[in-house]
Chains A and B, each alone.
Chain A
Amino acid sequence: MEASVPAAVNVSILAISVIFTVLIILIFTIKTLVKLMPYQALPAAPARKIVLSAPEQDDQVAAITASLAAHMGKRPDEFRIINIQSH
């Protein structure tokens, strides 16, 4: 093909039309797919409630207190853990 500016303009118009056509086909294909196969949320897993006995909870509080104290560089008696929730 002869390289001239009008020829380049023609090629550009043709090529961009092809790109838009291909991508519009894909848009409609995706929309159809999404309609045919809608998203279904997975059923939520039942919440587990762990009931800890008092000595067990004390052990956990002690372990968490020690880790936090080491992490924050404070003494264990400088802060107090008031609530532990399990999910």
Chain B
Amino acid sequence: MEFSFSSSASKIAHSTAFASLERGDVIMLGVACVLVYLAIWKKFEPLLLLPMGFGCLLANIPKSMMASTDSGGLLNFFYQGIEHEVLPPLIFMGVGALTDFGPLLANPSTFLLGAAAQVGVYTTLIGAVFLGFNMQEASAIGIIGGADGPTSIFLASKLAPHLLAPIAVAAYSYMSLVPLIQPPIMKLLTTEKERKIKMEQLKPISQTVKIVFPIVVTIVCCLMLPGVTPLLGMLMLGNLFRESGVTARLHETAETHLINIVTILLALAVGSSMTAQSFLQWETIKIIVLGLLAFTFATAGGVIFGKIMCKYTGGRVNPLIGSAGVSAVPMAARVSQKVGSEADSSNFLLMHAMGPNVAGVIGSAVAAGVFLSLFGDVSSMDTHAALAPVIGNPEPGIQAIATVVDAIKQ
């Protein structure tokens, strides 16, 4: 083969990604840089926004084969982890290993605050339908109000995979903005006197209850809402590693190395789905606006229910802990502590706020389960995928049983 200098130079020039760069790619490269900037210089959820922003950067370089849709590309392999529900449940396992359910067990009525904060999910659902989204899409958008990244990704990948990128970005961006979004709403809805309420010290809980709790939650919730088993089951398994006291190595791995590795894979995979085709849509702007609405209503729902509990208990519950009912563990609990200590510097609400905070994690997972039961493909959940061919065509199964029976006879 003969090469002339000019034809070779021309060939190299045409093979560069510059030749294929379009306006949408340039805008998305800008969006990626903004995410990286927010992560590094503004410290907005850097553990997630940095790999997510960089994944977006890689995905929007033409010919790089790094978009989630580029079959055979590196990030396409990572994206399989979202598509096949692997990564969000593994994150939940790490969260379970990191979470102490003690404050929730010591004051179980705070579960109600975790439920009340889910109001944000449903007001957003109604808003999304009003803006023209269908029910599946609206459910996936509404769950942003649960302030739980893995749950948002899990539900979006099942109900509205085409909206995964904007939903994930909105969920994580607003989670990082919890310290800015929540305090004005909390102060608006509470009086100075309510913010100064000091709560009784939490009672200690026996270790046996802490061990039995994850098993009971798995049985109760997963039997009622089987669609949410991957998330809730892994959350509770991680917590059982922590509380059982016999799996120290597994606990340590789940709460450190595993969650870190999976976070990198998940964030890169989400970033790789942020291509110009999927992200530069009017829907993205609508989702960003609805996400803010979701967080606002979730916070307000929790605080208002906190006020009701305050009245009902004769002033023994500080309504500020209600805002921690949005999951965002432990940031939302820290915000409750901060606003409470601003009113009275000797007021320590952190441990009390951890109760509704972890209840919010369970509440948002339950909310996702309800959506899956209503709008998910429930028929596909009837049989395990691996067993479907055997059940669909019983002959191989019968043959296998016959073989085993023959072997026993011999």
User: Counting CB contacts under 8 A, is A66 at the interface?
Assistant: no
User: Counting CB contacts under 8 A, is A43 at the interface?
Assistant: no
User: Counting CB contacts under 8 A, is A39 at the interface?
Assistant: yes
Q: For the complex, give the distance between the alpha carbons of A29 and B284 in Å.
A: 42
Check B126–A18 contact: CB distance below 8 A. no
Q: Which of B104, B216, B221, B370 contacts A15 (CB 8 A)?
A: B370
B327 contacts which chain A residues (CB < 8 A)?
none
User: Counting CB contacts under 8 A, is B118 at the interface?
Assistant: yes
Stretch at the interface among B45-53, B129-137, B342-350: B129-137
How many whole Å from A81's CB to the nearest CB in chain B? 33
Check B362–A12 contact: CB distance below 8 A. no
User: Counting CB contacts under 8 A, is A47 at the interface?
Assistant: no
Total contacting residues, chain B, CB less than 8 A: 45
Q: For the complex, give the distance between the alpha carbons of A53 and B363 in Å.
A: 61
Q: Which of A4, A23, A25, A34 contacts B112 (CB 8 A)?
A: A23
B287 contacts which chain A residues (CB < 8 A)?
none
Mark interface residues in A28-72 (1 if CB within 8 Å of B CB, else 0). 011101100111110000000000000000000000000000000
User: Counting CB contacts under 8 A, is B125 at the interface?
Assistant: yes
Check B213–A33 contact: CB distance below 8 A. yes
What size tier do the contact residues of chain A reach? 20 to 34
Q: Which of B126, B138, B220 contacts A29 (CB 8 A)?
A: B220
Q: For the complex, give the distance between the alpha carbons of A82 and B114 in Å.
A: 53
How many cross-chain pairs have Cβ atoms below 8 Å apart between A and B?
Answer: 109
How many whole Å from A17's CB to the nearest CB in chain B? 9
Check A40–B112 contact: CB distance below 8 A. no
Q: Which of B114, B135, B205 contacts A39 (CB 8 A)?
A: B205
User: Counting CB contacts under 8 A, is B410 at the interface?
Assistant: no
Q: Which of B112, B123, B125 contacts A11 (CB 8 A)?
A: B125
Query: Can you list 29 pairs linking A and B with CB atoms under 8 Å apart?
Result: A1-B374, A3-B129, A3-B138, A5-B130, A7-B135, A8-B125, A8-B130, A8-B135, A14-B370, A14-B374, A15-B122, A15-B370, A16-B115, A16-B119, A18-B225, A18-B366, A19-B366, A22-B225, A23-B115, A25-B220, A26-B108, A26-B221, A27-B109, A30-B105, A33-B213, A37-B208, A38-B206, A39-B205, A39-B206
Query: Which B positions have Cβ atoms within 8 angstroms of A?
Result: 104-105, 108-109, 111-112, 114-115, 118-119, 121-123, 125-126, 128-130, 133-135, 138, 203-206, 208-209, 212-213, 216-217, 220-221, 224-225, 359, 362-363, 366-367, 370-371, 374-375
